[in-house]
Amino acid sequence: MTANLFQPYTLNHTLTLTNKILMAPLTRCMADENLVPTQAMADYYARRAEAGLIISEATIIRPDGQGYPNTPGLFSTEQIQGWQNVTQAVHANGGKIFAQLWHTGRVAHPHFFGGGDVLSASAQAVEGSVPRMRELTYQTPKAATLEDIEGLVSDYAQAAANAMEAGFDGVEIHGANGYLIDQFLHYDSNRRDDEYGQTPENMSRFALEVVDAIIARIGADRTALRVSPGAYFNMGTDARDRAVFDYLLPELAKRNLAYVHAGIFDDAMEFDYLDGRVSSYLRKVYPKTLVGVGSYSAETGAAAIAESKFDLLAIGRPFIANPDYVAKVRNGEAVVEYNDAMLAELV
Ligand code: FNR
Ligand code: 8K6
């Protein structure tokens, strides 16, 4: 019933995955005080090397991208060295790993970077407080100037180059879940009236500039993007968002990325303005390799792949609960059920 997950999958001329089970990016807030990955993190990832591809926890491209405690970075020499230790451990166990590149935009908090502006598409705050730091409420961001945008694009590209230096097999740009890139892609957070706002083409511009800058540095074969056409996390819904993604996805298809990854916690959720599930919507507008995710089991994910709903399956929470998830699925063994208490330690 899950045998199709164990067929190899060729992403492109550069990368072939040994199976179709990906480890989804999972923030664990366990880097050290300089946002350097630790030995415990290297061990944690190495235990999961049987995944066809590991996508690292979201990793900030520069200090003002930080919105949660102890999330790793990829902008200092020490951080690059820390990640080298991780990628070597994964490769030694026969695995592959991409770095997920992150800037939280308006979900950032100056508490983490010693003060200064919080940048977003527009001066529209997200409501609420920082998880695990409930005393910190989000502040109204500064709308990024054209100069800020240029700097951000170049810092994404530098972080991608740093990821290659750290030994990653590629990068997944975090364009999902209401963080910076996603903030440009939705009307709720993008109220700009310049060439980065108002029309689908303009609202897609920042995402495409980041993608193109990274492709120019490390090649399209090693570049992927995660997107959330359905607004549901750190973001308000607006039916006009559909047109933005209708423009963006065909543009991405021209660029021969390694894959596009859905950003969703539960793919059973239906969005009126997408005419259904996020994965079905993406399948309609994006003809290339698509990674599905969101409350799937190996069985339901294998069935979805058999029905061509997507090509590869990313598994998140079950991978926290089961370091040997892939072996268990292969052997038909029961998996341990995830619960939030498991976030307290790296097993
Ligand atoms: C996440 N998710 C997530 N997504 C992302 O793009 N970058 C990240 O760093 C994280 N971090 C993260 C931490 C934790 C604790 C959870 C539970 C989730 C979302 C994750 O990649 C995935 O999309 C969802 O968890 C849905 O998949 P599962 O868990 O139902 O298989
Ligand atoms: C990307 C970084 C995230 C850091 C913490 C993630 C917290 C995970 C929360 C668990 C699941 C919550 C699901 C919320 C989905 C909303 C659906 C309406």
- Domains belonging to the chain, first-starting first, are 3-344 (3.20.20.70)
Is the CB of residue 22 less than 8 Å from the CB of residue 314? yes
Determine which residue's CA is closest to atom 6 belonging to ligand 2. Answer: 27
Read off the pTM: 0.97
**59, β-bridge pairs:** 101
Determine which residue's CA is closest to atom 14 belonging to ligand 1. Answer: 26
Mean pLDDT on 42-64: 99
Cα-to-centroid distance, 71 and ligand 1 (Å): 14
Assigned token pair, 322: 């089961």
Report the DSSP pairing between strands 53-60 and 97-102. Answer: parallel
Is the CB of residue 264 less than 8 Å from the CB of residue 228? yes
Q: What is the pLDDT of residue 125?
A: 95
What is the 3-state secondary structure of 65-127?
Answer: HCCCCCCCECCCHHHHHHHHHHHHHHHHCCCCEEEEEECCHHHCCHHHCCCCCCEECCCCCCC
Residue labelled with tokens 């990821």: 163
- Please state, in angstroms and rounded to a whole number, the distance separating the CA atoms of residues 120 and 143: 5
Q: Which residues line ligand 2 (CB under 6 A)?
A: 27, 58, 68, 131, 177, 232-233, 265
Nearest partner of 102 among 132, 72, 138, 145, judged by Cα: 72
Mean pLDDT on 52-79: 98
Q: Of all atoms in ligand 1, which is nearest to the CA of residue 172?
A: 6
**130 CB less than 6 Å from ligand 1?**
no
**111 CB less than 6 Å from ligand 1?**
no
Band (191; pLDDT cuts 50, 70, 90): very high
Q: Tell me the HSE value of 211 on the side-chain side, using a 13 A CA sphere.
A: 26
Q: Of all atoms in ligand 1, which is nearest to the CA of residue 24?
A: 21
Q: How many helices (H) and strands (E) does the chain have?
A: 10, 14
Which residues touch 123 (CB under 8 Å, ≥6 apart)?
A: 140, 141, 142, 143
**178 CB less than 6 Å from ligand 1?**
no
Q: What is the pLDDT of residue 133?
A: 79
Q: Is the pLDDT of residue 149 over 80?
A: yes
Q: Of all atoms in ligand 1, which is nearest to the CA of residue 293?
A: 27
Q: Of all atoms in ligand 1, which is nearest to the CA of residue 263?
A: 23
- Please state, in angstroms and rounded to a whole number, the distance separating the CA atoms of residues 272 and 142: 31
Nearest partner of 2 among 19, 18, 15, 27, judged by Cα: 19
Assigned token pair, 263: 């950003």
Q: Is the pLDDT of residue 54 over 90?
A: yes
Cα-to-centroid distance, 1 and ligand 1 (Å): 25
Q: Say whether 321 sits in a helix, a strand or coil.
A: helix
Q: Is the pLDDT of residue 249 over 80?
A: yes
The three-point CA angle 125-237-206 to 5° equals 65
Give per-residue pLDDT as tens, 173-190: 999 999 999 999 999 999
- Please state, in angstroms and rounded to a whole number, the distance separating the CA atoms of residues 197 and 203: 5
Determine which residue's CA is closest to atom 16 belonging to ligand 1. Answer: 26
Q: Say whether 58 sits in a helix, a strand or coil.
A: strand
**Percentage of the chain modeled with pLDDT above 70:** 100
Give per-residue pLDDT as tens, 195-208: 999 999 999 999 99
Give per-residue pLDDT as tens, 272-309: 999 999 999 999 999 999 999 999 999 999 999 999 99
Q: 47: how many CB neighbours lie within 10 A of its CB?
A: 19
- The residues annotated with a catalytic role in the active site are 179
What sign does the dihedral 240-266-290-343 (CA atoms) show?
Answer: positive
Is the CB of residue 183 less than 8 Å from the CB of residue 106? yes
Q: For 134, which DSSP code?
A: E
Q: Is the pLDDT of residue 40 over 90?
A: yes
Which residues touch 77 (CB under 8 Å, ≥6 apart)?
A: none
Q: Is the pLDDT of residue 169 over 90?
A: yes
**67 CB less than 6 Å from ligand 1?**
no
